[in-house]
Amino acid sequence: MINKISALEKNSDNEIFKQQPEYVKVTGLTPNQRKVYETLLGLGRSAGAYELLEILHKKGINAAATVYRALNDLVHKGLVQRIVSTRKFIAHKSKIKKDNESVLLICQHCGEVSSLEDQNIIEMFDKNLKENGYHVRQYNLELMISCDECVAKNSAIDHRIQL
């Protein structure tokens, strides 16, 4: 099953901020953590720390270290996930399990992130690795993809990747 992690509802634009958004229910965040979390969630896609810093200048955050610290704390809280292959971050609408074993699907054009939750994939890895005497310490399964919308916008994308 594929879940879009933080894509905003279509046509919602910034309406989501005017209503009582779900993330307001997230408690126990410092003001800086909340600013970083809400900004990242509001983007509806993955973003790097420096991109976040540029946006957060307006909200009074001026140091990259502050953004990194907040992102780290949010990762520990399970609200933000680090994308290892792109060095970006994606916000979750609610906390995820610490040992999240989903496969991330990252659109390499627009940065949208989905997760693929299929226990068979994890079991396949476990089985094959255990048979060889290996044990998985940490899953960072990430696939670079072209999302539906990017393919629709540019029919050349799909073709180029197949080459």
Residues of this chain that interact with Zn ion (CB under 5 A) are: 107, 109-110, 112, 147, 150
Residue placing its CB nearer to Zn ion in the complex, 4 or 95: 4
Residue placing its CB nearer to Zn ion in the complex, 93 or 109: 109
Which residue in 69, 55, 80, 110 sits closest to 5, CA to CA? Answer: 80
Q: Are strands 142-145 and 103-107 parallel, antiparallel or unpaired?
A: parallel
Residue placing its CB nearer to Zn ion in the complex, 35 or 111: 111
Residue placing its CB nearer to Zn ion in the complex, 38 or 112: 112
Residue 106: CB minimum distance to Zn ion, A:
9
- DSSP code of residue 47: B
105 vs 111: CA distance, rounded Å: 10
| Location of structure tokens 């899953």 | 139
Residue 114: CB minimum distance to Zn ion, A:
10
Residue 142: CB minimum distance to Zn ion, A:
15
Residue 148: CB minimum distance to Zn ion, A:
8
89 Cβ contact partners less than 8 Å away, ≥ 6 residues apart: 40, 46, 47, 48, 49, 52, 71, 74, 75, 80, 81, 82, 83
Say whether 62 sits in a helix, a strand or coil: coil
Residue 150: CB minimum distance to Zn ion, A:
3
Residue placing its CB nearer to Zn ion in the complex, 34 or 109: 109
- DSSP code of residue 8: P
Structure tokens that stand for 74 in this block: 């949010």
Q: H/E element holding 4? A: strand 2-4
